[in-house]
A and B are shown apart, each in its own frame.
Chain A
Amino acid sequence: MLLIVVVLTFLLLQSASGDAVDAYLLSMGGGDAAIAQSLRQSYGLDQSEIARLWLYLSSLARLDLGWSVAFGRPVADLILERLPNTLLLMGSATALAFGLGTSLGIVAGARPESTTDKVVSALSLILYAIPSFWLGLVLSIVFAVQLRWLPSSGIETIASGKSGFARAADIALHLILPVGALGVIYMALFLRVMRSAMAEVWKLDFVAFARAKGLSRSRIVLRHVARNALLPLVTMLGLQSAAMLGGSVVIESIFAIPGFGRLAQEAVTGRDTPLLIGIILTSALLVVLVNLLLDLVYALLDPRVGAAEEGA
């Protein structure tokens, strides 16, 4: 499946008019055709598309992602260097979204159609509709420009010489705004899914049974309804991981975080095909890994999944 992704993106990006050499020469203020030709030859850009595709795939088999023309460095190095920042951003945003989203969802879903439910639902609809990059701008206007409480760009203070705990605190401070901007939309989404899943679970027989047993309301809500409503949320998390990775491109651009998404944007401006293919491949790999991990979590939450597979 990842192979399909590689071949498709390769063919898509090869259909480009103008390649990295054009962009490179343009950035140097132009050059003559002979230089362009020799550069193309050294990067293998003068060969036919099929030959290049084969060349790319065979080097990929050796885990070699190629050479970035715009940066003058191996693609794999660049990606590995930028990936941790993005994973940190996405991980924190997911944690925020999942934690707050499920708790608020439980609050709203505990008493369907109550006033609390209606207020929380309306609020979540508005939050869900906010474009993340606009929220990022507004947050940085309020907290970084007006109040000056939080830094508006970067992942840490440059050349601060901090290490250990002080550096971690510094990074955390820099991450508050971007994580907020990225996480709020998903928080609203998880809230809505959790609420509607709980509304479905309330109708099931075992809830009526738990009630008939005389269990307290909070115990029914937490142990019976919420626990079962978590299942669709885990599926949702996997589906959203691709969208979140896409969203981090814009957020990283706003907050000037040197991450994976910014790398994608730089690859786009530099017409850097090997880098762009490498990025798309890595992100696809990441999404597959996240979903694999969530399948394991799913089996833990719902014993029926594992049992069914053993039976088959």
Chain B
Amino acid sequence: MTLLRQTIGTGEGAIGAAILSLLILIAVFASVLCPGDPLNIAGPPLTPPFTQGSLPLGTDSLGRDLLAGVVHGTRTSLSVGLAAAAAAMAFGVCIGLAAGFSGGIVDEALMRLVDAFQIVPGFLLALAFVSVAGSSAHVIVIAIALGAWAGPARLMRAQVLSIREREYVAAARVIGAGPAEIVFKEILPNALPPVLSLSAIIVAAAILTESALSFLGLSDPNVVTWGSMMSEGRNVLRSATWLSIFPGLALLTTVIGIYLLGEGVTKAIGRGRPGS
């Protein structure tokens, strides 16, 4: 709680938190703000923005309300981004913990696996995975997580390696704590914070990957996403530029909000430490 207060105390943290809270509210209350299916036809096609009160951002080439699309797209972007980042973090932390704590051949094998995933471009991997497994929401989450878990795993392993030699771990071993107890009570809580500080970057990257995938047409066709809206807007780029501009601005705002919050948290942690 104090960390939250300290984060908001920094300028970046306050702006980032404000942007993100607003976006989360929009995502949660999307059906209240813009009731009905955003894929339904709401007015004449290609209505320019700011011309009709009921359709403030205009309509796309099929006459669908752009504002409803952007609002409902917030829900998709945030949920997919957060879920993929959470999956990547959880998997990465488990692998890193296992590699660092076991050592020896397990460590060696797991780290080669991490290497393999780090040299393959994550986006290509996600592209291949979605093309193989279909484009439902949970497949996209797994596809994005596939390309993002290696970083946290590597950092987690490094953390575990440095912590397992500390004196308090040795002390726990001396008083007869089992391996599970040492891992979950002594090592995990102390190794986790630096790894968690990666989460802002990973969430932002996951949201960007999701929209890039849906921009290339690899998303659930029954769900509105900012990427698919931009990709549809691209076909009428010459006559209706606003169709690609607004979803892009929404994406940009989201990512900036996440980065700012991340910077705020980093600053707050830095201030909390004595001597820095």
Binding site for B on A (CB under 8 A): 1, 4-5, 8-9, 12-13, 15-16, 125-126, 128-131, 133-134, 137-138, 140-141, 145, 242-243, 245-247, 249-250, 253-254, 264-265, 268-269, 271, 276, 279-280, 283-284, 287-288, 291
Does B91 reach chain A (CB closer than 8 Å)? no
Given the known inter-chain contacts A128-B259, A284-B119, please indicate yes or no for A268 contacting B234, CB distance below 8 A: no
Shortest beta-carbon distance from B15 to chain A in Å: 11
Residues on A with beta carbons closer than 8 Å to the beta carbon of B238: 145
A133 to B127, CA, bound (A): 15
Does B268 reach chain A (CB closer than 8 Å)? no
Does B48 reach chain A (CB closer than 8 Å)? no
Contact in complex: A126, B122 (CB < 8 Å): no
Contact in complex: A279, B122 (CB < 8 Å): no
A4 to B118, CA, bound (A): 12
Contact in complex: B237, A249 (CB < 8 Å): no
* Contact string against A for B residues 52-94, beta-carbon threshold 8 Å, 1 for contact and 0 otherwise: 0000000000000000000000000000000000000000000
Contact in complex: A13, B132 (CB < 8 Å): yes
Q: Which of B98-106, B156-164, B181-189, B248-256 contacts A (4 or more CB under 8 A)?
A: B248-256
Contact in complex: A1, B119 (CB < 8 Å): yes
Residues on A with beta carbons closer than 8 Å to the beta carbon of B219: none
- Most chain A CB atoms below 10 A, which of B120, B125, B129, B244: B120
Return the chain B residue nearest A279 by Cβ: B124
Interface size class of B (residues with CB under 8 A): 35 or more
Return the chain B residue nearest A270 by Cβ: B131
* Total number of residue pairs linking A and B with CB closer than 8 Å: 129
Contact in complex: A145, B237 (CB < 8 Å): yes
Contact in complex: A247, B237 (CB < 8 Å): no
Contact in complex: A1, B116 (CB < 8 Å): yes
Return the chain B residue nearest A18 by Cβ: B132
- Most chain B CB atoms below 10 A, which of A247, A264, A271, A287: A264
Which residues of B in the span 247-274 have a Cβ within 8 Å of any Cβ on A?
A: 248, 251-252, 255-256, 259-260, 263
Contact in complex: A131, B208 (CB < 8 Å): yes
Q: A16-B133, A280-B124, A283-B124 are in contact. List 19 more A-B contacts (CB 8 A).
A: A1-B112, A125-B260, A128-B259, A129-B204, A129-B259, A131-B212, A131-B248, A134-B230, A137-B233, A137-B237, A138-B244, A242-B121, A243-B121, A245-B121, A247-B123, A253-B216, A264-B127, A265-B127, A271-B131
Return the chain A residue nearest B151 by Cβ: A239
